[in-house]
Structure 1
Amino acid sequence: MLSNPSQKYQSFPAIHLPDRQWPSRTLTKAPVWLSTDLRDGNQALFEPMNRERKLRLFDELVRIGFKEIEVGFPSASRTDFDIVRHLIDDKRIPDDVTPMVITQLRPDLIRETVRSVLGARRVIVHFYNAIAPAWREIVFNMEVPQIQAMVQESVRLLRELTDPHPETEWVLQYSPETFCMAELEVSLLMCNTAIEAWDAGPTRPMIINLPTTVEVSTPNVFADQIEWMHRHLSRREHLVLSVHPHNDRGTGVACAEQAMLAGADRVEGCLFGNGERSGNLDVVTLALNLYTQGISPKLDFSDISAVARIVEETTALPIHPRHPYVGDLVFTAFSGSHQDAIAKGFAAQKPDALWRVPYLPIDPHDVGRTYDSIVRVNSQSGKGGIAFLLQRDYGVVMPRRMQVEFSAVVQEHADSSETELHSAQLWALFERCYLGSHQPSPAYVYHGHRLHDTEAGLQAIVLEVTGPDGQRVSIEGQGNGPIAAAVAALGLPVRLDSYEERSMGAGADAQAMAIVEVVWPGVPGSRFGVGQHPNIVTASIQAVISAMNRFVATVSGVLLR
């Protein structure tokens, strides 16, 4: 890379607009949307869509709610011409949807374009020509007056061709291609020339579309350009001011948002940002950005995964797993601190309250996603995510300190396997770590118990267990309850620090889960034990034995994990 790139690349400073208004404005409504997936997006595909795929995507765009759809370049493509005629002749275009066709400013192409849409109820004819200095001087070798004359003559020709067909409502869209790199005065001259030649007014609708054909400056510069044009265009009250951002700098969405603040009424783009080079504006991202600000986008993305599947199938382009709002992983947290915050957010979120779940800017349910994949576990995960999955899928509610203990078990397993862990694998680890029949080489195996009261008011227990020597024995103990009696029967120098019980479901046959925390003096830390049984007393005794087994394994140098 060059040490001084300013010697090679031109910078585009901010426009002199000392009284700019857009920075102090707030977006309050959605723009008019135009999908260019079938034209601009299609021409950027390695293998352009065939007729079947184009028609399928057209139907999906209509279902989503687009009222303006650029259907093709009929003067440059026989496939596009035939598809446009098919849509019109077979009446596949709903009355509230307007197709748009694009053409360069050549008489033969303009004539063919008009021929392709004759008979439509309403149609937008999109004229474009490049006007920036590099194109004027290098590509076309034309002066500004020559380009102005070409715009004027082309619009007049369109009027001559369309005036004899009043059964169609004709809308002219003019795009000064390369607008973002052209002098504002030249852009204004070309736009006003087209406006005057078309005689834009209440009965002659017109769209002025200002593109960032190639992104070359920061979004604030583009916003200044749009506000300047918004102020200076002739017959502004009769125009729809549109923008067509590309994404060469990765700021296409930002350019569109700021252009709307600066006076743009309409936005063009592709569903997931497909287009030449780095793509067009990503319509889904912009629309759902508005949605998260409480603004209805007037587009239906309530099943965003279904939209994504259709787009992937028709374009053969995969959607990145981290694509905003739609990627497979955008509602997934691996980081432990993120998982913990999300789990707490779900617990606190009320159905009728403002959305306040940390790390999730949108409720996944609003775009047809579920919570199933929001928290996933790998070596970067923490106790919050692990606890969330076990509670959601198995009804296990772990005390906070137990979450810390079990997360170390999961972390060790994830590190060694170097794979993501799903909730079923977490449950298998939980069983292996805590539930007696699954613990490897347990010191004590529970078989049964009998309880009775003593004359001293204590509870006595007879425990049937297989002990560390492999022999099945009956051991006895007393205490102020069944748990204390079981601890006494085992005869180990431990202290019970906490006890919790949970219901694992509803109904008379629901399983109960008991969780105990036990301390063994002289052994660092505590250990948790878990028991699961329809009878809570039995579950509690199993939990004590579970904790003992884990302590015995620790003392003998083999931690049960």
Structure 2
Amino acid sequence: MGREGKHLRYSPFVPVVLSDRTWPDMEISGAPRWLSTDLRDGNQALPHPMNPLKKLKMFELLVDMGYTEIEVGFPVASQDEYEFVRLLIEQEKIPDDVSISVLVPAREELVHRTLESLRGARKATVHLYNATAPLFRETVFGMSRTEVRDLAVRGVRWTTEYAERKLPGLDLGLQYSPELFNETEPEFAVEVCEAVMDVWQPGEGREIILNFPATVERSLPHVFADQIEWLDRNLSRREHRCLSVHPHNDRGTGVAATELALLAGAQRVEGCLFGGGERAGNVCLVTLGINMLTHGVDPRIDFSDLDHVRRTVEHCNEMLVPPRHPYGGELVYTAFSGSHQDAIKKGFDALRRKAADTGLQADELPWEVPYLPVDPKDVGRSYERVVRINSQSGKGGVAYLLSAMHGLDLPRELQIEFGQIVQAESERSGMEVAPDRLRELFLREYLTASDLTSDLTSSSPSCDKQLTV
């Protein structure tokens, strides 16, 4: 088949029609419960999975950032995975306010082995799953609906019975995921979850987490939100269940789908720092959290040293974060374009004037700087690299760097003249012009040897206006 007609092999995926949806009128006014699955879903997708030492480094980072629910592994996947859970427990690495979880498919021997890895823990959650979507029921497992539902029920029974017999001191929580939920008939997803709850018997002090994975992202973000609102309406025991989502990013809309799902009633989000995970990755917890911050909502996670977070993730995963990744990428606060640089300079100037007029510090004022949705300093970045100069840059960027880095405030005419000189330098070299090189060019062009030893103001030979040095 040639290019024409290929699109006919695909069709939109719309599993539920919700004509009376209410989520478009909602707002996100508080942070959800967050679960990091960097140590499980993120780890299993790496070309070189983390060893226990790297997993411990990642675990400590997540704890320091404030994540209190962490999926620490898949104990039956490998001996390293099992031993890491044992390391956390035996070396008492788990803070009292942190709840760990471990993943296991609904198979009896695997459930028993997974629970054994938790021996000695004070509290933990078993995350039980089985696939419920028709494509997997029929093509992969050859199972009927009844068999799929009964497997989930047996998985819960195996979990509770083993824990009661073998782990009497463990405060055990349960999370159940109908895997490939977003491709499952909605009424069947509810049927399976209700059967699971009938066995677990959630009640006061006995929560159940019902987690709904968009295992492979198939639909527009609003379709996922409709699914979540429909579920929230139709699942029983609302006061004793936590409705959780686990979006992936196969269509590149994982963040949008998650935010709309939160509007639709989701209470908890599973994801990875910088979107690690299988295929196109899980939803990015960094993007979601800082999106909330920029809307005036406290994400309850510490992003104040985002460069440290990125470096740690890159070290542990042996994969680089793209330089244009939202908020955390190396270049996301950097402007090369002349018009952008000029607007940023004017924004900083206005912020300084407001601070002087009000008697407040600049970081106490509402953040209003063009092209920068978040103050770089709020995530641990300096202003030093906000503006960088290449052949696309203009007078505003050059003037900003000379002022910010070297205390030279140029009048407008001189900004234009010197900007042309800097542009010519960048075109000649084909390289970026660093701040120190800017200063060298300025001194070479405008100041004599005697000027360099004077603290007096100096004038451009082609301009009568004074510089403030």
The TM-score by the shorter chain falls in which range? over 0.9
1:366 maps to amino acid: D
Aligned-CA RMSD value: 2.0
Aligned residues: 457
Cα gap change, 1:153/1:184 in structure 2, threshold over 3 Å: closer, same or farther? Answer: same
Determine the structure 1 residue equivalent to 2:359.
none
Determine the structure 1 residue equivalent to 2:463.
528
Distance 1:14 1:197 in 2: 27
Pairing of 1:45-444 with structure 2 (within 5 A)? 45-164=46-165, 165-349=167-351, 350=355, 351=362, 352-437=364-449
Distance 2:91 2:430 in 1: 56
Cα gap change, 1:36/1:323 in structure 2, threshold over 3 Å: closer, same or farther? Answer: same
1:13 maps to amino acid: V
Alpha-carbon offset, residue 322 of structure 1:
1.0
Contact in 1 for aligned 2:225/2:264 (Cα 8 Å): yes
Cα gap change, 1:39/1:435 in structure 2, threshold over 3 Å: closer, same or farther? Answer: same
Alpha-carbon offset, residue 28 of structure 1:
0.5
Give the 3-state SS of the residue equivalent to 1:173 in structure 2: strand
Distance 1:119 1:532 in 2: 70
Contact in 2 for aligned 1:436/1:531 (Cα 8 Å): no
Alpha-carbon offset, residue 530 of structure 1:
8.4
Stretch deviating more after TM superposition (147-156 or 158-167):
158-167
Alpha-carbon offset, residue 14 of structure 1:
7.0
Alpha-carbon offset, residue 529 of structure 1:
6.6
Alpha-carbon offset, residue 204 of structure 1:
2.1
**1:109-143 Cα shifts (integer Å, max 9, x gaps):** 00111111122111110011111111111100111
Distance 1:316 1:530 in 2: 54
Distance 1:293 1:23 in 2: 17
Distance 1:55 1:39 in 2: 12
Give the 3-state SS of the residue equivalent to 1:391 in structure 2: helix
TM-score for the superposition, normalised by structure 1: 0.79
Alpha-carbon offset, residue 533 of structure 1:
11
TM-score for the superposition, normalised by structure 2: 0.94
1:432 maps to amino acid: R
**1:327-386 Cα shifts (integer Å, max 9, x gaps):** 111111000011011111111113222100100011111111100000000011011000
Contact in 1 for aligned 2:173/2:208 (Cα 8 Å): yes
Does residue 513 of the first structure (1) align with residue 457 of the second (2)? yes
Give the 3-state SS of the residue equivalent to 2:128 in structure 1: strand
Distance 1:43 1:212 in 2: 17
Greater RCO structure (CA 8 Å; 6+ sep): 2
2:371 maps to amino acid: Y
Give the 3-state SS of the residue equivalent to 1:70 in structure 2: strand
Alpha-carbon offset, residue 6 of structure 1:
4.5
Percent identity over the alignment is: 49
Contact in 1 for aligned 2:334/2:386 (Cα 8 Å): yes
Higher radius of gyration, 1 or 2: 1
**1:240-298 Cα shifts (integer Å, max 9, x gaps):** 11000111011111111111111011000111111000111110111011011111111
Distance 1:424 1:159 in 2: 66
Give the 3-state SS of the residue equivalent to 1:111 in structure 2: helix
Alpha-carbon offset, residue 64 of structure 1:
0.9
1:379 maps to amino acid: S
Bigger proportion of residues as helix: 2
Cα gap change, 1:533/1:64 in structure 2, threshold over 3 Å: closer, same or farther? Answer: closer
Stretch deviating more after TM superposition (213-222 or 403-412):
403-412
Cα gap change, 1:11/1:531 in structure 2, threshold over 3 Å: closer, same or farther? Answer: closer
Contact in 1 for aligned 2:410/2:467 (Cα 8 Å): no
2:179 maps to amino acid: E
Distance 1:14 1:157 in 2: 32
Determine the structure 2 residue equivalent to 1:23.
24
Give the 3-state SS of the residue equivalent to 1:112 in structure 2: helix
Contact in 2 for aligned 1:37/1:70 (Cα 8 Å): yes
Alpha-carbon offset, residue 528 of structure 1:
2.5
Determine the structure 2 residue equivalent to 1:442.
none
Determine the structure 2 residue equivalent to 1:12.
13
Determine the structure 2 residue equivalent to 1:450.
none
Distance 1:50 1:278 in 2: 23
Contact in 2 for aligned 1:513/1:530 (Cα 8 Å): no
Determine the structure 2 residue equivalent to 1:441.
none
Distance 2:15 2:78 in 1: 39
Determine the structure 2 residue equivalent to 1:542.
none
**1:407-431 Cα shifts (integer Å, max 9, x gaps):** 1111111111111001111112212
Contact in 1 for aligned 2:105/2:128 (Cα 8 Å): yes
Contact in 2 for aligned 1:243/1:268 (Cα 8 Å): yes
Distance 1:340 1:512 in 2: 28
Give the 3-state SS of the residue equivalent to 1:512 in structure 2: coil
Cα gap change, 1:5/1:201 in structure 2, threshold over 3 Å: closer, same or farther? Answer: farther
**1:64-94 Cα shifts (integer Å, max 9, x gaps):** 1110111111122211111111211221111
Alpha-carbon offset, residue 510 of structure 1:
7.4
Cα gap change, 1:254/1:533 in structure 2, threshold over 3 Å: closer, same or farther? Answer: closer
